[in-house]
Amino acid sequence: MNMPGQMMYAPLLLSSLLAQAAQRAAAVEIVSRRVEGDIHRYTYRDCHARAMQLANALTRRGIHGGDRVGTLAWNGYRHMELYYGISGIGAVCHTINPRLFPEQIAYIINHARDRMICFDASFAPLVEQIAHQCPHVETWMMLGDEAALPDAFAIPLESYEAFIGEHPAQFAWPQFDEREAAALCYTSGTTGNPKGVLYSHRSLTLMAYASVAPDALCLSAADTIAPVVPMFHVNAWGLPFSAALVGAKLVLPGAKLDGESLCALFEQEGVTCSAGVPTVWLGLADYMRRNDKRSGTFKRAIVGGSACPPQLAGSLGELGINAVHAWGMTELSPVGTVCSPSHNYADKPADERACLDAKQGRAIAGIELKIVGADGEPLTWDGKSAGDLMARGHWVLDRYYGVEQSPLEGGWFPTGDVATIDADGYMQITDRSKDVIKSGGEWISSIELECIAMSHPEVEMVACIACEHPKWDERPLLVVVRRPDSTLTASDLLAFYEGKVAKWWIPDDVVFVSELPLTATGKLHKLVLRQRFGQHFVGTCARPA
């Protein structure tokens, strides 16, 4: 006979995170650099009060549970209120990536059937461009005062401050099934239409609980957290939820993400921990080095979204900042692994520790990983066998929004990444499966070749792509942006690989470009590069054995 446990039950709802922060961390600040240019500061108590005003306003407007409300906004306090106010009434906060092409944005808004779009003033020109393509949107709401609304605009606009202003700052957050949808984010796939990932209250709350743990993002009330990763991309890696959970001070940097702006904001606000993609940290490290700065309070840079080049970790280390490597994806809400030291880390020699730090890390509690071969059978965790990475867990996608067929294979989500896992459970991404270079029947890791090139002092940015080859099927080509004033030649850079990888891994050629194409989420757009350079070796047969 089963026996039910006799403990309290309350659904895991996001509203409870903010409501509790408003009590436990009532006076802790949320600081925002606004698109208007100034700094805004208030507390968790104020944020909760305004989220309740918003909840009242939305309810009065007839927004119901399950309705989608879109946001086109930078990281800021009003976006935070939208996260909680929309999801708190049971509606779905649909964060939209403004860096996508306007047609893709219109597609996403229509696919999600957003009833309302709330946008930062800086996106007004974009809204004007797409509004006529989005017939289901009833309200376009600018995140600002009535006075800031533009005089002549193609469509009727409302102001956020007027919308919430006259409503009471009291609201009884409804209790409903924790599996209801809370947030929606579309993947920025490089091919085909973006696909929607619909997060539940349960999945986001559980991820917030798991991600604050010491072996995960290691967040506490003593931290000042600055999510540089945008709130329009996978909920800024859940930081608006995990910061509220622990009651940490939040610093939201708005639109200015260059090294100088971040350095000034971090110094001024005493930021201890931040999260962003490698390009953001390259910019910060470069600025700090050139201006002879050293880090004060800022000790932990969580690096994810793309592989963290070891040389980046090294330069951050010299500035007094510890790079913490993490891996995830939109479909994983996104935190999957974090590279934190295990019990035997300190005993390892320095070179082994450096190798470990370069890995994407161990699955955080709540996530399981496996790697499988071409036959679908699990591969050994020996740190060498590379296979398709599969994930499952409480905050892993089950199916895409509006798509009947689930992508799961035997209950596991195929991530599309290729990885190794070592005996201690440290996972290392070797490639996206579509970016792997298949040379003479063997696989070459484009990420490893990129990391080596990045460690060359004259290389600013690099992409390694597979190019068609008449003899070897595919061979690696480096597409490189040199540092200013560098005269680095292709042969110098290729010679730099000698002794670092097997001879047959060394790229066949290098092309120098002034910039590399990036996707809407700041990753290398290898598809564009393959379209441009994919035939580079056609007509060539030579290749050193």
**By the criterion CB under 6 A, which residues form the site for ligand AMP?**
187-188, 234, 304-307, 325-330, 334, 360, 415-417, 429, 432, 521
For ligand AMP, the closer CB: 30 or 323? 323
For ligand AMP, the closer CB: 261 or 455? 455
- Report DSSP state, residue 36: T
Q: Is 370 a catalytic residue?
A: no
Q: Calculate the alpha carbon distances from 452 to 310, 403, 458, 478, 495 in Å.
A: 8, 40, 12, 11, 12
Catalytic residue among 95, 187, 430, 521: 187
Catalytic residue among 331, 448, 450, 474: 331
For ligand AMP, the closer CB: 171 or 199? 199
CB of 361 to ligand AMP, least distance (A): 8
Q: What residue has token string 């500061």?
A: 41
CB of 330 to ligand AMP, least distance (A): 3
Q: Are 494 and 506 in contact (CB under 8 A)?
A: yes
Residues, the chain, total? 545
Q: DSSP per residue over 354-374, as a string? A: HHHHTS-BEEPTTEEEEEE-T
Structure tokens at 506: 């060394």
Cα torsion through 300, 250, 328, 476, rounded to 10: -60
CA-based Rg of the chain, rounded to a whole angstrom?
24
In whole angstroms, what is the distance from residue 136 CA to residue 109 CA? 9
Q: Is 166 a catalytic residue?
A: no
Asked if the peptide bond before residue 334 counts as cis, ω within 30 degrees of 0, the response is yes
| Encoded amino acid at 538, one letter | V
In whole angstroms, what is the distance from residue 538 CA to residue 130 CA? 42
CB of 89 to ligand AMP, least distance (A): 28
For ligand AMP, the closer CB: 31 or 308? 308
CB of 462 to ligand AMP, least distance (A): 14
Give the three-state DSSP class for 185: strand
CB of 415 to ligand AMP, least distance (A): 5
For ligand AMP, the closer CB: 433 or 486? 433
Q: DSSP per residue over 251-276, as a string? A: EE-BT--SHHHHHHHHHHHT--EEEE
For ligand AMP, the closer CB: 104 or 415? 415
Q: Is 331 a catalytic residue?
A: yes
Question: Where does residue 427 rank: exposed (0-12), middle (13-18), buried (19+ CB within 10 A)?
Answer: buried
CB of 186 to ligand AMP, least distance (A): 10
In whole angstroms, what is the distance from residue 356 CA to residue 358 CA? 5
Neighbours of 410 (CB within 10 A): 9
Residue 452 makes CB contacts below 8 A (sequence gap 6+) with: 496, 497, 500, 501
CB of 436 to ligand AMP, least distance (A): 12
Residue 82 makes CB contacts below 8 A (sequence gap 6+) with: 54, 69, 71, 73, 93, 118
For ligand AMP, the closer CB: 102 or 416? 416
For ligand AMP, the closer CB: 327 or 412? 327
CB of 303 to ligand AMP, least distance (A): 7
Catalytic residue among 43, 128, 297, 443: 443
CB of 503 to ligand AMP, least distance (A): 25
For ligand AMP, the closer CB: 178 or 388? 388
Q: Are 367 and 421 in contact (CB under 8 A)?
A: no
Q: Is 260 a catalytic residue?
A: no
In whole angstroms, what is the distance from residue 18 CA to residue 169 CA? 14
Would you name the residues annotated as active-site residues? 187, 331, 438, 443
